[in-house]
Amino acid sequence: MNFGPTEDQKSLLERVKRFAVQEIEPIAAEIDLKGIFPDDVISKIGRIGLNGMIIPKEHGGMGLDTVTYAMAIEELSRASASVSATVSVNNSLVCYTLDKFGSENQKMKFLVPLANGTYIGSFAVTEPAAGTDASSMQTTAKREGDSFVLNGTKIFITNAGKSKIALIFAMTDKEKGVKGITSFIVDTSSKGFVVGKIEDKMGIRGSQQAQIFFENLAVPAENMLGKEGEGFKIAMSAIDCGRIGISAQAVGIAQAALDDSVKYAKERFQFGKPIGDFQAIQWKIAEMVTLTNAARLMTLRAAWKKDKGERFTMDASMAKLFASDVAMRVTREAVQVHGGHGYMKGSNVERFFRDAKITEIYEGTSEVQKIVISREMLK
């Protein structure tokens, strides 16, 4: 077992870090404050290949393993969790799913431009009445000749309004519950695809989430992803991989909060000495670094199991459950280390604290991770 990065990983991570420091960090506070999606930075990320990291080169990607992908997402998240949210959805939920379940034709038509950065993708399961319980999905897809006609509403969809391709999950047979869900690859410029309200959020404010409405949206039958009724299985597989990305995002947020806290503890003087000389602050730093390292190890282990072709569902859930909790604890302590200055808008740790919360919610809440883990343990 080797705990250090390989030479290839080191060189990629140096490039990602340089990009994050030069291109993302300078705009991170502003996109958060104003709630702006950073089109230019996301385009550049696409051009340097980071939108298709785990996709084979012949399908437009970088051909990296999941361990390297997780390390790169951590690096991007240290600069901005808003940016990494966009990148993580495109990589793990959209590209990975097309790579795993798409036909060769679908890969050439949709995956190549998504992985090489020409397009951005989105992934739409959640609905007003179907959050954790996907079987309550109301969106329908009815076969009409060579097409399926979709009607319904999705909410909270990351990259909606920015994506050219969306993976949409809809009921083809309501009677069958989750076994009646089918997934479709949809061109978002099609007639009947309507983007609704853009959400105003607590954190990751530089990523974009919106409602989507389908109004008699006709999707060619050849754009069905996998087989009819396989949609739930496809969504769960995508989310397994996605949870590694979100764990890495949580680790990146925690690491950024830790880095700022260490710096501040050395610079901030009270009672004639740096606050880092007080044991209360030293213990916080010790706990923050220990938790962050443990979360990183769990994340990389889940990624490593996936790369070995082993079942990694429980590992991805444990990593997400733990890393998201660590991100919350570490960012809360980071605000505490910064005192009143950490509570003010414009301080990095205030942003990290708000950004951390989403990692406990999307791609399965922490409660759902406990259900997944306990189900695996007790089966």
Q: Which residues are catalytic?
A: 363
CB of 346 to ligand FAD, least distance (A): 22
Residue 317 found at the interface with ligand FAD (CB under 6 A): no
Q: What is the DSSP string of 92-155?
A: IIIIHHHHHH--HHHIIIIIHHHHTTSS-EEEE--BTTBSS-GGG---EEEEETTEEEEEEEEE
Cβ density class 53-72: b for 16+ within 10 Å, e for less: bbbeeebbbbebbbbbbbbb
> What does the block give as tokens for 18?
């340089």
Minimum CB–partner distance for residue 95 and ligand FAD (Å): 14
Helix (H) or strand (E) holding 157: strand 147-158
Q: Which one, 86 or 172, has the nearer CB to ligand FAD? A: 86
Based on CB atoms, which residue is closest to ligand FAD, 28 or 275? 28
**Binding-site size, ligand FAD (CB under 6 A):** 21
Dmax (CA) for the chain in angstroms is 79
68 versus 153: smaller Cβ distance to ligand FAD: 153
Considering the complex, state which of residue 218 and residue 361 has its C-beta at the smaller distance from ligand FAD.
Answer: 361
Residue number with the shortest CB distance to ligand FAD? 131
Of the candidate spans 136-144, 153-161, 210-218, 300-308, the one that interacts with ligand FAD by CB under 6 A turns out to be 153-161
d(CA 270, CA 375): 50
Rule CB under 6 A: say whether 214 interacts with ligand FAD.
Answer: no
Decide if residue 367 touches ligand FAD (CB under 6 A): yes
- Binding residue for ligand FAD, selected from 83, 87, 89, 112, defined by CB under 6 A: 89
Stretch that binds ligand FAD, among 110-118, 293-301, 326-334, 365-373 (CB under 6 A): 365-373
Name the minimum Å distance from CB 54 to ligand FAD: 18
Give least dist CB 207 to ligand FAD, A. Answer: 7
User: Per-residue x/- marks for ligand FAD, 93-132, CB under 6 A?
Assistant: ------------------------------xxxx----xx
Q: How far is CA 163 from the centre of its chain?
A: 15
- Write down the least CB distance from residue 225 to ligand FAD, Å: 15
Write down the least CB distance from residue 279 to ligand FAD, Å.
36
Which CB, 124 or 302, lies closer to ligand FAD? Answer: 124
Q: Per the structure block, which two tokens stand in for 6?
A: 């390989």
Of the ranges 18-26, 66-74, 252-260, 360-368, which one interacts with ligand FAD (CB under 6 A)?
360-368
Q: How far is the CB of 120 from ligand FAD (least distance, A)?
A: 12
In 3D, which of 122, 120, 114 has the Cα closest to residue 93? 122
Residue 357 parent element (H or E): helix 348-358
Interface pick for ligand FAD out of 138, 237, 293, 365 (rule CB under 6 A): 365
CA distances from 82 to 175, 240, 324 (A): 38, 21, 15
Which 8-state DSSP code applies to residue 277?
A: G
Alpha helices (H) along 38-103: 39-47, 66-79, 81-88, 96-101
CB burial of residue 19 (10 Å; 0-12, 13-18, 19+):
buried
Residue 307 burial class via C-beta count within 10 angstroms: exposed 0-12, middle 13-18, buried 19 and up: middle
Rounded to 5 degrees, φ, ψ at 131 are -100, -100
Applying CB under 6 A, the residues found at the interface with ligand FAD are: 89, 123-126, 131-132, 156-158, 201, 204, 209, 358, 361-363, 365, 367-368, 371
